[in-house]
C-alpha cells in the first residue's frame, strides 16, 4: 500500500472559520476511512501581526515547525506551501485570492466565492492562465450525505424532481446581537443574510436541481426575489428567492421545469427551538417521493426519504418496500470541513484545476444568481469591494 499524499496548507486569516477548518485538517484521516491523503499546516498569516498568527497556530495545535507570518504577502511567498485556504470576510475574497494566484499558489477560497460574478470570472481566468487549482469552499457539498442525495436524484428513485425548498435562517434580535459593525450586517464586509446564510440555501437548490443535470444540458435559472434591508446598515436581513430551472432532474420527457425556493432570514429561524422540532430544513420533492433533510443546512447529518404509496426507499440499500426511511451520517471526529479539504488535496495531487463536485462554471452561475437577486432588491455593496481592480487596499 502506497503512502498517503501529504498536502501542505497555508492558512490566510486567523478568525473563527479558519480555526475550525485548521482543526479539521489535523484530524486523523483514518477516522473517516481516508488513506490516500493527509494534511499538514506549514504556515498561517494574520494581516495584523505575526504574534496573532503564532497564537492561532498554537491554539489549533499545528506542528511546531509551522511558521507564523504577519502579512499575507509573506505567506504566499512561502515555497513550502502547496495550497492556501482563504478565510477572510466575503468582501476580501477577491483581493486575497488574486494575491495567492498571482504568487502561483493553489487556492481553496471560502464561500461566498466573491462579492459578484465578475470578480469570480476574473479569478477563474487567472487560475486557468496560471494552471492553478481554484475551488470555492462550499464544504456541505462534500459531505457523504450530500453526495448520497445527489446520487439518489440522479438514479431517478425520486422520479422527476419538480421542487426543492431550502431554508437557513436564525432568529436574532439583530440590533442587539450584531449592531452595526459586526460582519453579519456590515456593508463594508459584504454583510447580510444572502452571502452568509443564503449561500447554503442556494447550495441545496443548485446541487439538487442544477448539478444533477448532465453538464451539457445545464442552464442558469430565471430569478424572482424579494429583499428587506436592515435599517441601520442597508444589509439584507431577509431574502427570499424563487428560481426556475429550464430542466427538471430525471425527467424522461424533458418537458418540465423545476422550481428552487431558497430562503434566508435573520429574524425568524429554521430551527425555532434549537431542538429540531420544526424540521425539515430542506425538502427535495419528486413524483415518486421526497427527501427531507434536517437542519442545519450547512452541516446536515440526517435525512428522511419518503416514497409515494408503496414505493421502495433504497437509501440504505436494503431493498425493502417501505414508505419512510431515516438515514443518519454522523461526522467522525471533527466539524466536517475535512471532506472539502480532502477533495482539494486530491485535485492538487492529480493536477486538476477544478473540482467535479463544484466546478468553476457552477460557482459563477451561483454568483450570477446572487447578483440578480441583489439587482432586484437594490442591494449594492461599497464600490471598493465590488471593484475588479487589483490590488485595492481594503
> Which band of pLDDT confidence, cut at 50, 70 and 90, is reported for residue 262?
very high
259 phi/psi in degrees, rounded to 5: -105, 130
> Which of these, 122, 135, 12, 8, lies nearest to 73 by C-alpha position?
12
In order, the DSSP letters of 323-380 are SEEEEE----SS-STHHHHHHHHHHHHTT-SS-SSS-HHHHHHHHHHHHHHHHHHT--
The cell for 255 is 418537458
* pLDDT tens profile 171-221: 999 999 999 999 999 999 999 999 999 999 999 999 999 999 999 999 999
Q: Is 258 helix (H, G, I), strand (E, B) or coil?
A: strand
Residues 156-177: what's their mean pLDDT? 97
CA–CA distance, 262 with 281 (Å, rounded to integer) = 11
151 contact partners, CB below 8 Å, separation of at least 6? none
CA–CA distance, 91 with 364 (Å, rounded to integer) = 16
> Which of these, 43, 332, 284, lies nearest to 148 by C-alpha position?
284
Give me the chain's average pLDDT, please.
95
CA–CA distance, 244 with 222 (Å, rounded to integer) = 5
In order, the DSSP letters of 49-79 are -HHHHHHHHHHTT--TTPEEESSHHHHHT-T
pLDDT on residue 322: 57
125 contact partners, CB below 8 Å, separation of at least 6? none
Q: Pairing state of beta strands 37-45 and 67-69?
A: parallel
Give the Cα-Cα-Cα angle 214, 315, 33 (nearest 5 degrees): 90
Q: Give this prediction's pTM.
A: 0.95
CB neighbours (10 Å) of residue 201?
30
pLDDT over 60 at 320, yes or no: no
Distance of CA 291 to the CA centre of its chain: 20
Q: Pairing state of beta strands 222-229 and 236-245?
A: antiparallel
Give the Cα-Cα-Cα angle 139, 140, 145 (nearest 5 degrees): 135
pLDDT on residue 312: 56
Residues linked to residue 9 through DSSP beta bridges, in sequence order: 41, 83
* pLDDT tens profile 46-89: 999 999 999 999 999 999 999 999 999 999 999 999 999 999 99
Are 56 and 66 in contact by the 8 Å Cβ rule? The answer is no
CA–CA distance, 292 with 302 (Å, rounded to integer) = 9
End-to-end CA distance of the chain: 48
Amino acid at each position: 500500500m502506497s503512502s498517503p499524499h501529504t498536502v501542505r496548507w497555508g492558512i490566510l486569516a486567523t478568525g473563527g472559520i479558519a480555526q475550525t477548518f485548521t482543526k479539521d485538517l489535523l484530524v486523523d484521516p483514518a477516522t473517516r476511512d481516508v488513506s490516500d491523503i493527509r494534511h499538514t499546516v506549514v504556515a498561517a498569516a494574520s494581516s495584523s501581526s505575526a504574534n496573532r498568527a503564532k497564537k492561532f497556530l498554537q491554539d489549533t495545535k499545528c506542528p511546531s515547525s509551522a511558521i507564523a507570518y504577519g502579512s499575507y504577502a509573506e505567506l504566499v511567498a512561502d515555497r513550502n506551501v502547496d495550497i492556501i485556504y482563504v478565510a477572510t470576510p466575503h468582501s476580501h475574497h477577491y483581493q486575497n485570492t488574486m494575491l495567492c494566484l498571482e504568487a502561483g499558489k493553489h487556492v481553496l477560497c471560502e464561500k461566498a466565492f466573491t462579492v459578484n460574478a465578475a470578480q469570480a470570472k476574473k479569478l477563474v481566468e487567472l487560475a486557468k492562465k496560471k494552471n492553478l487549482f481554484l475551488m470555492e469552499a462550499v464544504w456541505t457539498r462534500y459531505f457523504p450525505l450530500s453526495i448520497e442525495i445527489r446520487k439518489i436524484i440522479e438514479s431517478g428513485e425520486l422520479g422527476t424532481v419538480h421542487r426543492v425548498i431550502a431554508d437557513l435562517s436564525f432568529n436574532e434580535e439583530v440590533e442587539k446581537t450584531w449592531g452595526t459593525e459586526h460582519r453579519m450586517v456590515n456593508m463594508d464586509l459584504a454583510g447580510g443574510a444572502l452571502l452568509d446564510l443564503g449561500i447554503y440555501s442556494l447550495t441545496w437548490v443548485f446541487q439538487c436541481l442544477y448539478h444533477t443535470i448532465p453538464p451539457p444540458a445545464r442552464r442558469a435559472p430565471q430569478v424572482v426575489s424579494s429583499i428587506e434591508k436592515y435599517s441601520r446598515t442597508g444589509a439584507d436581513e431577509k431574502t427570499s428567492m424563487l428560481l426556475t430551472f429550464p430542466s427538471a432532474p430525471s425527467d424522461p420527457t424533458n418537458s418540465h421545469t423545476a422550481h428552487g425556493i431558497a430562503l434566508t432570514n435573520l429574524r425568524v429561524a429554521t430551527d425555532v427551538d434549537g431542538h429540531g422540532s420544526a424540521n425539515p430544513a430542506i425538502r427535495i420533492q419528486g413524483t415518486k417521493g421526497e427527501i427531507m433533510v434536517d437542519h442545519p443546512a450547512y452541516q446536515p447529518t440526517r435525512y428522511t426519504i419518503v416514497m409515494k404509496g408503496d414505493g421502495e426507499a433504497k437509501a440504505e440499500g436494503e431493498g425493502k418496500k417501505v414508505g419512510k426511511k431515516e438515514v443518519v451520517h454522523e461526522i467522525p471526529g471533527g466539524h466536517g470541513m475535512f471532506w472539502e479539504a480532502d477533495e482539494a488535496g486530491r485535485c492538487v495531487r492529480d493536477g486538476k484545476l477544478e473540482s467535479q463536485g463544484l466546478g468553476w462554471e457552477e460557482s459563477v452561475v451561483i454568483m450570477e444568481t446572487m447578483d440578480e437577486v441583489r439587482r432586484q432588491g437594490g442591494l449594492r455593496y461599497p464600490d471598493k469591494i465590488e471593484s475588479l481592480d487589483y490590488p485595492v487596499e481594503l
